[in-house]
Structure 1
Amino acid sequence: MFIMAVTLAYVSRSSFKYRIGLISDLLLSKYFVIWNNANSFGASTILREGNGILFMETTDRMNPPSLVLCAIESAARVYPDRPVVFFMKGLENITSEEDEKRAKQQFPTLSSYSNVYLFPLRMDQLFNNTPLKPWFDKVNPKKEVYWKHVTSDACRFALMWKYGGIYIDTDVISLRPIPQDHFLAAQDATVISSGVFGLSSHYQLAWQFMENFVKNYRGKIWGHQGPGVVTRAVKKLWGMPVFNSTDDVMCGNISCLHPQRFYPINYLSWRRYFEVWENLPTFKDSYALHLWNFMNNKGKSMVPGSHTLVEHLYQKQCPTAYEYILRNKSTHL
């Protein structure tokens, strides 16, 4: 009996030590996960507060035209206390702060802005655990007419779902801060834009955008996967907003901003940005200006000394880009 008692005591003590050791290992493992997350560097770290300004490039080009750099610089100046992140498909992996700084040095007009960050755009990872992943795995890019555009449409919805913040197209020059964090923007009386919108991360509306994108996918129709998605979702949920003045309206519990906020010059008049105005507009009702880059298929660009409206905008909203072009006589930075 004595030997049995001693044996049981030893086994119990050993079992207790094993359980304590197991718990310690689990706690230690959890600690290292927390430590690694806290000390890792990436978009999730920079955008963890959900207040980022998001831009992206869905082609492999690493020498974007000046309008792209002007759009990002103007946002960095308008939102100095918020991270401005440019996701680039052609960018190599970034795993450290030093990697990110080296990447930004490739863009001299952005390198002086401490709130601008560059990260790679990896669509297969971005679309994981979203309705977009089955579509992305199945679609054949070679058969797509507007592949870079539909992937851009898909990415903006996924980025907003994952990170939240404000998404802005790279042909949009910021003028002043958008006062709302949750908003959609009307392009005109019949279209809700996908070029600028703001939501918090994992906001259900972003998930509905992705579902609508896949369910109604028609990649051969221009705009069907971008503004078409947002417009269809808004119509289904609340009906099209009606603007009786320049005031914004509510779509459910989210602001729907008046077309004047980003589209005071409509797409049919896009050339007006590249003309000389006798009296420069104040755009007092606008937060930013969409320059309709898709319409600009002739490649019109800002020319220093032209006295056009777009030159005035560059001088005021992205002076670093403007000075760089002036010195180097190049519209590619």
Structure 2
Amino acid sequence: MLYFTTTSKGVRYVALFLLIIAFGFLYRTTNIDHSVQLCILNVKAQSCEYMDNIKNNTDRPENINTVNTNPVAILRKGNGIIFVETTDRMKPPSLVLCAIESAARVYRDRPVVFFMKGLADINLVNDEPEGRKIFPTLSYLDNVYFLPLKMDEVFRDTPLLPWYIKISPKKEQHWIHVSSDGCRLALIWKHGGIYMDTDIISLRPIPNANFLAAQSSQFSSNGIFGLSPHHNFSWRSMDNFVQNYNGTKWGHQGPQLFTRVLNQECMIPPFKSTEDVVCGNISFLNPQRFYPIPYPSWRRYYEAWQEFPTFNDSYALHLWNYMNQEQKSIIPGSKTLIDQLYKQYCPSTYEALQRNESIHL
């Protein structure tokens, strides 16, 4: 048992001790609340701790939609799926929504982010879920995010920023594609994960972390690729993008860029059957993984097949929408290949089309 003397000096020590305890408790509780408020209000900050990190020291909250709409926070695990829209279009065709839905269903444990140039600023936590309501067929997917594409922020702290500041988009012949080529590189450099074109339908998870997709034996695509954050291939590609820029030649900053940089890494070995090959620390995936139907045969997706192919060697399918100058589209119930793919891999979008419902607000 402790006894305290009743001297004035003893009383002062006891009072000081109790005051320190009280102040520490008050600071700890109020500081948590203040930190959380800063986290919620400052959604444009480069990094922000989640409420659960502060209070419980846990890795992340159960529902990542509820705390922060900053892409740094959403994509912080480096395993996100990234789509990009470099036009102001806010009513994309059903193929875009099918691509997003199929990816969100295949990668349910990963964030799927669609960066849209035409989307207004998101400044509050509740803005992003409101933005998701624009596309009702995707509203049931809680791992899908729609965020504004701000190129000056995307290119910041990368070799692409001086190029972007100097260039005049109005004078560029292929600006939509060139800017998309640049954005995907910068976003994957900063956040890591998988980039996909908006005409790619996901079938099953890609097991490789760092990969490029072969379009043919010695030629790389840039329509889908996956790299860890700050991977040296991303940085070298951005450097090459600027140093060898040629905006008059379609694909020079895209598939041809990836092929150039990959050839600097190694002599690309030929494929044997459906096997993948390795080039340095990157897997170069067989054309069967994403391009079992090559671009000259793109119309086959809009033809009826007697038997639905299994695509057992494929992780996703590129539908070559750039080639579709005839503007062919899905017709529900037509039993075309694209009809079967929608029905199986993006059923919400398919059902809305079947009921003749709007896929946009």
Q: TM-score, normalised by structure 2?
A: 0.81
Q: 1:332 to 1:99 in 2, by over 3 A?
A: closer
**AA at the equivalent of 2:327:** G
Alpha-carbon distance in 1 for matches of 2:321, 2:360 = 15
The offset of 1:33, in angstroms, is 10
Q: Which residue of 2 aligns with 1:295?
A: 323
Matched residue SS, 1:205 = helix
Residues 65 and 332 in structure 1, CA contact (< 8 A), matched pair in contact too: no
Query: Within 5 Å, which residues of 2 pair with 1:178-189?
Result: 178-189=206-217
5+ long unaligned stretches in structure 2: 1-30, 40-47, 51-67
Matched residue SS, 2:126 = helix
Alpha-carbon distance in 2 for matches of 1:168, 1:34 = 35
**AA at the equivalent of 1:38:** E
Q: Which residue of 2 aligns with 1:52?
A: 80
**AA at the equivalent of 1:116:** V
Q: Deviations over 1:108-130 (max 9, x none)?
A: 01111001011111001110111
- Asked if 1:67 corresponds to 2:95, the answer is yes
The offset of 1:329, in angstroms, is 5.9
Alpha-carbon distance in 2 for matches of 1:78, 1:211 = 33
Matched residue SS, 1:192 = strand
Alpha-carbon distance in 2 for matches of 1:241, 1:64 = 39
Alpha-carbon distance in 1 for matches of 2:234, 2:259 = 13
- Asked if 1:137 corresponds to 2:148, the answer is no
Q: 1:235 to 1:113 in 2, by over 3 A?
A: same
Alpha-carbon distance in 2 for matches of 1:208, 1:224 = 15
Query: Within 5 Å, which residues of 2 pair with 1:157-172?
Result: 157-172=185-200
Matched residue SS, 1:202 = coil
The offset of 1:32, in angstroms, is 5.5
**AA at the equivalent of 1:91:** L
Question: RCO greater where, 1 or 2, for CA within 8 Å and sep 6 or more?
Answer: 1
Q: What is the count of residue pairs matched by the alignment?
A: 305
Q: Which residue of 2 aligns with 1:200?
A: 228
Residues 137 and 359 in structure 2, CA contact (< 8 A), matched pair in contact too: no
Alpha-carbon distance in 2 for matches of 1:268, 1:77 = 29
Q: Which residue of 1 aligns with 2:7?
A: none
Query: Within 5 Å, which residues of 2 pair with 1:1-333?
Result: 36=39, 37-39=48-50, 40-328=68-356
Alpha-carbon distance in 1 for matches of 2:107, 2:129 = 20
Alpha-carbon distance in 1 for matches of 2:330, 2:269 = 35
Bigger CA drift: 92-101 or 151-160? 92-101
The offset of 1:306, in angstroms, is 1.4
Q: 1:34 to 1:126 in 2, by over 3 A?
A: farther
Alpha-carbon distance in 1 for matches of 2:172, 2:141 = 37
The offset of 1:76, in angstroms, is 0.5
Q: Deviations over 1:216-251 (max 9, x none)?
A: 111111111111110000011112231022111111
Residues 215 and 221 in structure 2, CA contact (< 8 A), matched pair in contact too: yes
**AA at the equivalent of 2:348:** T
Alpha-carbon distance in 1 for matches of 2:161, 2:238 = 10
The offset of 1:34, in angstroms, is 11
Alpha-carbon RMSD across the aligned residues, in angstroms, is: 1.9
Alpha-carbon distance in 2 for matches of 1:90, 1:324 = 24
Alpha-carbon distance in 2 for matches of 1:101, 1:180 = 31
